[in-house]
Amino acid sequence: MISLLFGNWRFVLDAVLIIALVVLLFMVNPFGIFGNGLQLGTTANMVTEVQKIGQLVTAEYYGEVISSLDESRLVLIEENNTQQLANDLYREIKYALYDLYQYQQIPKKERREDFLAEYRRNDGLRRKALQSVSRNNILEKIGFLSLTDSLTKHPFYLQTIEFLWREKYQNAEKRSWNPDSRAEAEVLLNLYQELATQQQSVEDGAFKRYLNDGFEFTASFQDFMFSEQKSELPRAERKKQLAIVGRGWVKAGFDFGQLDENSFYLHEETGDLHFFGLEPQILDADINPWFIPERAVPGFEIIDYQGPVNFKDAQRVKEHCIQKLVFYAHQAHIIQQAQQQGAETLKSFFSLVTGQPIHRVHFHNDVLTQTVKEIARDEYINYYEGILLDSLLAQEGRRADSLNNSLTNRTRNEQLATELDSMRRQSLRRLRKLRFEEAGQLFNYFSTLIHQIGQDSIIDQHERNLLQQVRWNISASNKDNREQLGAYKDPIFWYEDSLEFVMEYNAALKYLEEMVVQVADTFLMSLPNTEQALPDWSDSTKIILDFWSSDSTTTINYLDSNSLNSTFLSQLSFPFYYNKAALRKFVLQNNFITSQSVAHLDSLTVSGMNDNGFYVYDESKLYIVSLSPKLFFDELLLKNDTISADSLTFILRSNAKQPELQESESFKLSAEQAADLAEYFKILQTHHQVEHNKGAIVRASEWVREKLTYHTDSLTPLDQFQKFLSPQP
């Protein structure tokens, strides 16, 4: 044995050296090639660990409040809040009347010209523009100048007018208040005359203080509201008196229940932890029966009551106590404290979970995240919300671009930009599940554009160019398509399957057709405001919109629409139909697409066709597709017997004129539509061939590659097609 070892000493030495080298490499672990131990990155495992926290309380508020039955009826929480709102409204009314006073100082000639430029008729000229202010015309003058349009919608407007009528102008003895226009005009006229006197008799500084002052008398508007509300109650209710002290607590912190892998990001090199869309909130507010049981301090304590008070009254007051407690907690800045303390707590927690120190925690409670939450609350998106979202998404895009183009901290900023992109993607996924306006469709990239085009029932030349610009080119790369569509707005994150994206485009065009729009050219025309110019111009054109000024009128007009192509929208639509689930079902069948040789199209006999398939002829070869035409062609083409698309001829049904097949006249494809239809079939055909030529080893390697590869949205249309239609393991 020893002789054997000595005889092979060189081999034994090599083996020992190799083993020692492996052990040394494993212990030193250069470049982390053997891993970095048990660590937890921003993965699904970390998300699970964070979700297990549930709700994290990081700030608490303990307090005592007093509430009465009268307060709970008026739902008053903040002290003197009603008084302040009425004071602010009173100041706004005075400023509106001061605007009227300044208008009255303009020479009558200029007021006449402005009025005629606005209305083009003399109706109301004297009352609204020329006469002095009086009780008979003050409301008309204010309405003409649009001075109180927003003020009259204020919830306290009529109550403030009544309060001034009773307290300022000494009508308290008049018990019957009739909130009609005469009473409103009386109050406004008295206030206008007082304002005019002040402006003429006092210095500018004193007059400005007068405009900014609230109620100058001692009566309380809040007490007035109490009495008004109480006077409307039945007599038995007015006799009720109840006051309760409530002692309890409010807890604020974070709710991790809805957290996902896109909600936070850990930058390992700098130890920065970023949270997106996670914000502190009130988690609990309660007043228990016993606030301090060991000292017998109750949570609720009745300090005064009289009259037929019942359980519902007490319940209402108790609920109001909790609302007051929450309000006082907000005044004590509980949310800010929850975020500060939460940052420290999350630093410790993530340091423990990841095994590395966390130095800073950043909360990105951006406007987009908050807006999406508010919009999604009613599960409905209107046109104006869509416009707001477009603006916010553009801002977020510029923010991400600035991070990607930063010259300092490039790696850190690029990773942060990636997380911001993930938040945009998640936001749009959520919004695209909601209904938009009355279109009967879900919100998508084209929603606001189509609604805007259809509002005036006209598709002018500029809108036609825009509709053509946002049409996806299925033969081009996704990058080229993004650059083309980006002139309207960036399409990134608005789609995950380019073929589904073009189906949304088709649906948008169909919605425009349902809105009964006309295709017409428009033009601008500016004319002097003279009686002779108007009829000469309006007889030959049709006005869409007017822009008035004192000297001239600019109008948007449209020409006769009959001269334009009435099939504009149908010529834009994609000629095929895409249904992901249906195609996946059929593409796995061996006989999905079969072929046979045919000498000439004229010799073809298709008498045995039915609704479960169609033929495609291409250069002496006939393909039999076992797919219902309804699942391949757009509904506009289903009436056709045959369809020519580049070198392909699609045969949908038997033709009585065999063997001379004629293309139906029901709908003609444009050159672009023909290319799209041919390209769509070739994508389907190629994928079917590739799919059924795969062996077991290829399928297994693709399965592994799919599990280990992060899919992005930068896939070509063919890649998208393969991604969705390939067999699932």
For residue 47, pLDDT beyond 80? no
* For residue 555, pLDDT beyond 80: no
Residue 471 pLDDT level (bands cut at 50, 70, 90): very high
CB 503 within 8 A of CB 471: no
CA distance 69 to 240: 8
DSSP, res 538: H
Residues 6+ apart with CB under 8 A from 285: 248, 249, 250, 251, 322, 325, 326, 329
Q: Which residues contact 321 (CB under 8 A, 6 or more apart)?
A: 65, 66, 67, 244, 245, 246, 248, 287, 300
Q: What is the pLDDT of residues 487-508, one digit of tens each?
A: 888 888 888 888 888 999 999 9
Q: Residue 664: pLDDT above 60?
A: no
Is the pLDDT confidence value at 523 over 90? no
Which residues are registered as beta bridge partners of 62? 249
Adjacent-strand bridge partners of 615:
624, 651
The yes-or-no verdict on residue 303 having pLDDT over 60 is yes
Best-predicted range by mean pLDDT (27-36, 357-366, 471-480, 537-546): 471-480
pTM above 0.85, yes or no: no
pLDDT at 566: 65
Q: Label each residue of 333-371 as H, E or C.
A: CHHHHHHHHHHHHHHHHHHHHHCCCCCEEEEECCHHHHH
pLDDT for 13 beyond 80: no
**Mean of pLDDT values over 239-262:** 78
For position 606, what pLDDT does the model report? 57
Burial of 677 (0-12, 13-18, 19+ CB in 10 A): buried
Residue 573: which pLDDT band, with cuts at 50, 70 and 90?
Answer: very high
Where do runs of H (alpha helix) occur along 235-281?
235-238
- The pLDDT confidence band at residue 559, using thresholds 50, 70 and 90, is low
**Residue-wise DSSP of 46-99:** HHHHHHTT-EEEEEEEEEEEEEEHHHHHHT--STTHHHHHHHHHHHHHHHHHHH
Helix residue spans in 486-596 (DSSP H): 498-514, 533-538, 568-572, 580-587
* Confidence label for 39 from pLDDT (cuts 50, 70 and 90): very low
| Bridge pairing between strands 614-618 and 593-597 | unpaired
- Do the Cβ atoms of 243 and 320 come closer than 8 Å? no
Query: Which amino acid, residue 337?
Result: Q
What does the alpha-carbon distance between residue 50 and residue 24 come to, in Å, rounded to a whole number?
A: 37
Q: What is the mean pLDDT of residues 601-616?
A: 68
Mean pLDDT of 316-342: 85
> Is 489:394 a contact under the CB 8 Å cutoff?
yes
Q: Which of 403-407, 663-667, 689-693 has the lowest mean pLDDT?
A: 663-667
Please give the average per-residue pLDDT across 638-666, as a whole number. Answer: 68
- CB-based burial, 390-428: b 16+ in 10 Å, e otherwise: bebbeebbebbeebeeeeeeeeebebbbebbbbbbbbbb
Strand partners, 285: 250
Task: Give the pLDDT band of residue 470 (cuts 50, 70, 90).
Answer: very high
Q: What is the DSSP letter of 434?
A: S
Length of the chain: 729
Q: Confidence band (pLDDT; 50, 70, 90) for 659?
A: very low
* Phi and psi torsions of 54, nearest 5°: 75, -110
Closest C-alpha among 11, 7, 156, 183 to residue 88? 156
Nearest residue to 614 via CA among 632, 630, 629, 597 = 629
The answer to whether residue 43 scores a pLDDT higher than 50 is no
Position 4 scores a pLDDT of: 57
Ramachandran region, residue 440 (left: φ > 0; alpha: ψ -120 to 50; beta: rest): left
> Looking only at Cα atoms, what is the longest distance across the chain?
131
| C-alpha 720 chain-centroid distance | 26
Task: Report which DSSP code applies to 133.
Answer: P
Check residue 505 and give its pLDDT. Answer: 93
pLDDT at 358 over 80: yes
Considering the chain, what percentage of its residues have pLDDT values greater than 70?
Answer: 69
> What was the pLDDT predicted at 443?
92
Give the residue from 95, 196, 81 showing the smallest Cα distance to 151.
95
Are residues 297 and 291 in contact, defined by beta-carbon separation less than 8 angstroms? yes
- Strand stretches in 542-607, DSSP E: 542-548, 552-558, 593-597
Least confident of 25-29, 221-225, 698-702: 698-702
- Give pLDDT, residue 445: 92
Mean pLDDT of 275-300: 81
576 vs 70, more confident: 576
Average pLDDT, the chain: 75
Ranked by mean pLDDT, the top range of 102-106, 300-304, 410-414 is 102-106
Q: Taking CA 659 as the corner, what is the angle to CA 655 and CA 665, rounded to the nearest 5 degrees?
A: 45
Range with the poorest average pLDDT among 188-197, 306-315, 679-688, 703-712: 703-712
Q: Poorest-confidence range of 32-46, 66-80, 350-364, 377-391?
A: 32-46
For residue 384 the two structure tokens come to 């104006």
In this predicted structure, the answer to whether residue 386 has a pLDDT above a threshold of 80 is yes
Q: Helix (H, G, I), strand (E, B), or coil: what is residue 539?
A: coil
**Is there a contact between 559 and 657 (Cβ–Cβ < 8 Å)?**
no
Residue 640's contacts (CB-CB under 8 Å, 6 or more residues apart) are: 652, 663, 664, 666, 667
DSSP label at 633? B
Is pLDDT above 70 for 109? yes
Single-letter code of the amino acid located at 391: S
Least confident range of 68-77, 304-313, 441-450, 453-462:
68-77
Judged against a pLDDT cut of 80, whether residue 176 lies above it is answered with no
Residue in this structure with the two tokens 């390209």, named with its chain if needed: 679
Quote helix, strand, coil % in the chain, to nearest 5: 50, 15, 35
The sign one gets for the Cα dihedral 520, 443, 679, 651 is: negative
Question: What pLDDT, on the 0 to 100 scale, is given for residue 556?
Answer: 64
* Confidence (pLDDT) at 25: 57
Please tell me the distance from the alpha carbon of residue 504 to that of residue 495, in angstroms, as a whole number: 10
- In this structure, what are the phi and psi dihedrals at residue 460, rounded to the nearest 5 degrees? -85, 180
